Amino acid sequence: MKKILRQEVRFARPVPDCANPILTFHHFDPPWCDKQHHNPEGMIALCRSHHDLADAGNWTRSQLCSFKQNPPNLELIRKKFLWADSKVLYRLGGNYAANCPYILTISGVPIIWHTTSQDGRILFCLDIRNEENFQILFIEENFLSTEYTKIEDLSINTHENLLKVWLGNHKVGLELRLRHLSLDELAAQLDKDVTKALSTLEKFLPSNLLETMPKPDVSFVLDFAERECLNTDNKIAILDFLKATLFGRGKCVKIRNGIVTGSEFHFCFSHNNGGAAFAL
C-alpha cells in the first residue's frame, strides 16, 4: 500500500512547488479520526510538515484528490543527507570495512566510496546501475539524485537514516541504514553475523569439514572500532547495507548474508587499504 502511494506522487511531495521525497501517509477520505483504515484511495503521501497542515484541515478533500491525480512533473528527485560523521564503519551483509577510499568496486567500477569534507566529515557516494549499465540512482557526497521513471520504489524515513530504492522486483537496488551503535551493540551484531556466516557455509561444506573449522574470531573488529571509530558520544557510525543487488559492467553482486558474486561468498574485514575494500 505504501509503495502504491509513493508511486502515485512520483516519490516526491505532491503539493505544488515542493519536492521532498521523505513521505508520510495522510488519511483524508475518511479522516483517521472518523475511521481507522488503510484504503489507498482515501490516503495521500505527504511530507511531514504538509501532513501536519493536512491534519489541521488546510486542504479540502477535493484538493487532496487533485494532488493525488496531478503529481509534480519533476525531472529529478533530489535529496541531501545531512550526515555528519567523521568516522564510519561500513557493513555489507556481515562484511566490514573502514579507512578505505573505495568500499566496493565491481569490474573496476567504483560503486560505493566516499570523500572527506574540509571539516573532516565523511561524504558518501553511491552509483547504482542496471545490467545494461544505465544509471538508476546516484549519490554524490551525500546528495541523492534519480529520475522517477527509472525506479519502481524509493523510500526515505523521516529520520533520514534509512534509504530503500529498487527497480523491478528487487532486480537492482538496495536497502541502506545509518546506525550509531555502542561497542556492546556492535559485539552483538558481530555475533549474529558469525552465526549467519556459519549457517551459509553449512549449505556448501561437508559437516566433517565444518566440525574442524574454528569459530571465526571477530574481536579484532571490535578492537579496531574502539580504537578508530568511536565518536565523542562513544558511538560507532555504521553505514549498514542490509541488502543490495548491484551491477558493474554487467557483473552482478548481491549483498544479503555475505557478499555474493556468482558462486562465491565473501565474509571478511578490510581496513586501512589504499585501494578498494572489496574489489570484485
Residue 138, amino acid: F
Predicted confidence (pLDDT) at residue 84 exceeds the cutoff of 90: yes
Q: How far is CA 168 from the centre of its chain?
A: 17
> What is the overall mean pLDDT for the chain?
92
Predicted local confidence at residue 236, as pLDDT: 98
- Residue-wise pLDDT for 175-185, tens only, equals 999 999 999 99
Predicted confidence (pLDDT) at residue 29 exceeds the cutoff of 80: yes
* Closest C-alpha among 136, 58, 22, 91 to residue 277: 91
Between CA 219 and CA 257 the distance in angstroms is 20
Asked if 135 and 129 touch (Cβ cutoff 8 Å), the reply is yes
- Domain limits of the chain? 2-73, 79-181+218-279
Asked if 267 and 258 touch (Cβ cutoff 8 Å), the reply is yes
Predicted local confidence at residue 74, as pLDDT: 80
Burial of 175-196, coded b for 16+ CB within 10 Å and e otherwise, reads bbbbbebebeebeebbeebbeb
Residue 4, amino acid: I
* Closest C-alpha among 252, 257, 254 to residue 203: 257
Asked if 44 and 67 touch (Cβ cutoff 8 Å), the reply is yes
Location of C-alpha cell 551483509: 93
- Residue-wise pLDDT for 224-269, tens only, equals 999 999 999 999 999 999 999 999 999 999 998 888 887 677 788 8
- Residue-wise pLDDT for 126-142, tens only, equals 999 999 999 999 999 99
pTM of the model: 0.91
Is the backbone peptide bond immediately before 30 cis, with ω within 30 degrees of 0? Answer: yes
Q: In the chain, how many H helices and how many E strands? A: 6, 19
Predicted local confidence at residue 208, as pLDDT: 77
At residue 176's C-alpha, the angle toward residues 162 and 247, to 5°, is 145
